[in-house]
Each structure stands twice: as structure tokens, then as C-alpha cells.
Amino acid sequence: MQNAMLSQRLLAGVIAVFAITTASVAAMAQSSLTNQGGDQTAKEIERYRQALGDGNPAELWEARGEDLWKQKRGPKNVSLEQCDLGLGAGMVKGAYTVLPKHFEDSGKVEDLESRLVTCMVMLQGFSYIEAKKNPFGGPDNKSSMEALVAYIAGASRGLKMNVSGKQPDEKRYYELGKKMFFHRGGTHDFSCSTCHGASGQRIRLQDLPNLLKQDQAQRAYTTWPAYRVSQGETRSFQWRLYDCFRQQRFPELEFTSEASIALTMFLAKNANGGVMNAPAIKR
Ligand code: HEC
């Protein structure tokens, strides 16, 4: 019932968003025709983002994630409610701000996604393969992982990023992530820092955040997960990394791999002090 009302409210929002999209695209076309330059386009995109902020379809993912969190599932038929996400068993609020983190029980540094996989295995009795399949949804395929991530990240809204990074393995992951950020390779000889290591760069009308600048790193990290209007999906930070690997022409980034957790550690810790504002809404 609650979900039905939510859907109706969001439908109205989506229709409004569609109208704005059409108007913005026309305005962008106009600005490039009249050759008013990039600043005009950047302003249009910003205006469009603000307009979208009013109603966020990601609320549907958050609601589904909360249901999944509380639902008895898996061979052991238990919920995830006793999962320790870093602040103690069952604590959801604020958990996103302290991740990635080293966990005693698994002996590993885990980000939210890999931690959820661990809990699905340890508490619910899923196999590891089963727990980590289907990390990103599509039109005919809803991902439980993306919904859980939206719910848990949403429960940290308004709280400051506060990744410790002091434990030896956490330090090692941070350094590894940093190394990966600057590592050049692939057919284009790109690194993350080729696109995200200088200010004012742009690719196909999109501003590329300089992830080495604290304010931009904070803004980037604290606004994921996000509902992507262009895809009609709520995407996690892991999806963002996966897609940038693709843009970089690197081999596929394996979900919950050490590499993905290390990069997340580097970017999350650099965002410390930034206030969580996710799920956000993006182009
Ligand atoms: C070929 C250029 C390119 C490379 C290389 C690249 N990215 Fe990206 N990145 C993009 C684009 C384009 C976007 C989307 C910007 C937008 O939608 O506004 C993006 C977005 C992001 C964002 C989200 C920013 C935000 O504010 O939402 C993060 C985080 C990110 N990239 C991290 C990385 C990491 C880590 C690497 C290295 C593994 C990397 N990127 C490599 C082009 C690149």
C-alpha cells in the first residue's frame, strides 16, 4: 500500500522530469547552435539537476531494499537484520559513512557490497556465487543488491563520511587504491587520473570531477548511489567504478574484488568530512 502511494507520487515526478529533459535538450541544442559555449551548457545541466532533485525515483529502490533487508531469505530463512555493517549488528544508520572497513569475523577489508555478500553467506546460508550474482539491474531484471545498497546508503543521509583507514589492512587497501588511480594502461594508455586528475575537464558535455580535489571528491562520493535518468536505474558506486573501467578500456572490474574495494577505500577516505546526500539523481 505504502509502495503504491510512493509509485503514484513518483510517477508524477517522472513525468515532470521528462518534460524538463525535453526542454533542456532543446535548450542545449539551441546553445550549441548559437555557439554560446560550454558555460551555458554547464548551467543548463545544473538547472536540470536541481529540477530533478524534487522527486527521486530512487525512493522505490530504497523501499524495496528495506523490504529485502527485513525479509527472511536464503537456505537458513533469516533476515539480514543482524548483519554487522561496521557499527554493530543491526545498525544501519551511519554504516555507509564508515565503509570500507576491516572486519574481524571475515578477516577482510570490505565495502558495503562485499559486506552484504558476507552477511548473505554467513547469516542466510547463500553460497558465495549465489550471493554476488546480479550486482547491477536492467530493464527486465531487478537487482536485490542495488536495492539493498540504496536503502543502506539512504540511512546515512545527512551524516559525514568518516572512514578510519587506520588498521594495517585498511592502510594497505588505501595505498593499493591510490596506485590503481594513477596506473596507466589499456589501449588508450589511460589512468583514472587522465580523466579525473585535473580541474575543468569535460567529455561529451559532462564535467569530469577532479577526484584529487577534496571538495570535488566529497561531492562525487556522497552522491552515489544515484538514480540515472538516462538509464532509468538506481546505480551504486560499484557500478560507477565498473563503468569507468569500461570507459578506460580496462578489463572488466570484478564485483567485490580486492581491486574494486581498494579503489573504493581510496575514494571514500578522500571524501571524509563530506555529508552523505544519496541516493542522488543524475543525468
Ligand atoms: C575516459 C575518461 C574516464 C576515465 C579514464 C575514468 N572515468 Fe570516471 N567518469 C568519466 C565520466 C564521463 C563520468 C561521468 C560524469 C558525469 O556523468 O557527469 C565519470 C564519473 C566518475 C565518478 C562519479 C563522479 C560523480 O560526480 O558522480 C567517479 C567516482 C569516477 N568516475 C571514478 C573513476 C575511477 C576510479 C576511474 C579509474 C578506474 C575513472 N573514473 C576513470 C570518465 C572517465
The amino acid occupying position 98 is V
The answer as to whether 32 is a domain residue is no
The answer as to whether 6 is a domain residue is no
pLDDT at 80: 98
CB atoms inside a 10 Å sphere around CB 252: 9
pLDDT at 202: 84
pLDDT at 1: 41
Q: Are strands 226-228 and 280-282 parallel, antiparallel or unpaired?
A: parallel
C-alpha 130 – ligand 1 centre gap (Å): 29
For cell 557499527, what's the residue? 87
Ligand 1 atom showing the smallest separation from residue 194 Cα: 5
C-alpha 151 – ligand 1 centre gap (Å): 23
Q: Is the CB of 3 under 6 A from ligand 1?
A: no
User: Is 195 a residue of the active site?
Assistant: no
pLDDT at 84: 98
pLDDT at 48: 63
Domain extent, residue 130, equals 58-283
pLDDT at 201: 84
Residue 108 bridge partners (DSSP): 103
Number of domain units in the chain: 1
Distance from C-alpha of 11 to C-alpha of 55, rounded to nearest angstrom: 9
The amino acid occupying position 9 is R
Q: Domain containing 202 — which CATH number?
A: 1.10.760.10
Which residues of the chain fall short of a pLDDT of 50? Answer: 1-2, 11-37
pLDDT at 42: 66
CA angle 94, 97, 100 (to 5 degrees): 125
258-270 and 214-222 are packed helices; what angle lies between their axes, rounded to 10 degrees? 120
Q: Is the CB of 263 under 6 A from ligand 1?
A: yes
The answer as to whether 247 is a domain residue is yes
CA nearest ligand 1 atom 38, residue: 192
Question: Is the separation of the CB atoms in 62 and 154 below 8 Å?
Answer: yes
pLDDT tens by residue, 195-212: 999 888 888 777 899 999
The answer as to whether 142 is a domain residue is yes
CA nearest ligand 1 atom 24, residue: 220
The answer as to whether 121 is a domain residue is yes
C-alpha 268 – ligand 1 centre gap (Å): 14
The answer as to whether 21 is a domain residue is no
Q: Is the CB of 27 under 6 A from ligand 1?
A: no
Question: Is the separation of the CB atoms in 41 and 31 below 8 Å?
Answer: yes
Q: What is the pTM assigned to this prediction?
A: 0.85
CA nearest ligand 1 atom 7, residue: 244
Cα 21 to the chain's mean position, in Å?
23
The answer as to whether 22 is a domain residue is no
Q: Is the CB of 220 under 6 A from ligand 1?
A: yes
Residue 185 bridge partners (DSSP): 190
pLDDT at 141: 87
Cell of 105: 569475523
CA nearest ligand 1 atom 11, residue: 208
The answer as to whether 246 is a domain residue is yes
